[in-house]
Amino acid sequence: MLKSVLTASAALAIALSPLCVAAPASAGKVVPLLSGKYLWMSSTFCQAIQTAKGINIDMSRAVASVALNNSANELQSGTGNFIQGGTPDSGSLTLAVTDDQGSPFVEAGQLGSGNNSEPLNQSVQNLTIPFTQTFTTLSVTVSSQQETYNVYYGKLINGIAQSAVFGGIDHEGCAKQVMLTHV
């Protein structure tokens, strides 16, 4: 009886073994392509650095400054057009977005004084940047700095991702998340 149970277990293990072994990325799989025009929704969050000036009479610390290391929190909405280049899985990304950004904290009486107490402002951004992509990453070059993000693809039609999300830490040390929907 024990012999037949072991034989059945071995047969089951052999039958299931192809399901347990991950196929290498080059085994005929194609990276889902980001290609064409997408709606672009982006959020960037930067941590503020607070320094203490002294102790208030109620024993709480008085804040001397809040710094963002030349970064600001940012929301973007608009379109991103991915154009695949001569090599597979790379090309150029053209962004046309409305960019809302500013300091998360504004020091009283210091608005716009150049000490990172910047009010919210809105601008239009139009830029083209190179990108490369894999099954799990999307890399872009911004201000001569390469940024690599984790990417997750949605439904595919003819190998083109109809949606995607990517996120990670940008070259300024801020958290960035982007949602894409093919249009």
pLDDT digits (tens, 9 = 90+) for 113-133: 555 567 788 999 999 999 999
Q: Please give the structure tokens belonging to residue 90.
A: 């790379």
Q: Which range has the worst mean pLDDT, 4-8, 15-19, 60-64, 178-182? A: 15-19
User: Mean pLDDT of all residues in the chain?
Assistant: 77
pTM over 0.75: no
Q: Which range has the worst mean pLDDT, 28-37, 150-159, 169-178? A: 28-37
pLDDT digits (tens, 9 = 90+) for 83-98: 999 777 899 999 999 9
> How far is it, in rounded angstroms, from Cα 94 to Cα 37?
9
Residues 106-112: what's their mean pLDDT?
A: 60
> How far is it, in rounded angstroms, from Cα 75 to Cα 123?
11
DSSP annotation string for 18-56: HHHSPPPTTSS--PPB--EEEEEEEEEE---EEEEEEE-
* More confident: 79 or 109: 79
The three-state secondary structure class of 69 is: coil
pLDDT digits (tens, 9 = 90+) for 21-69: 222 344 567 789 999 999 999 999 987 766 655 555 565 655 555 555 5
The DSSP code for 94 is E
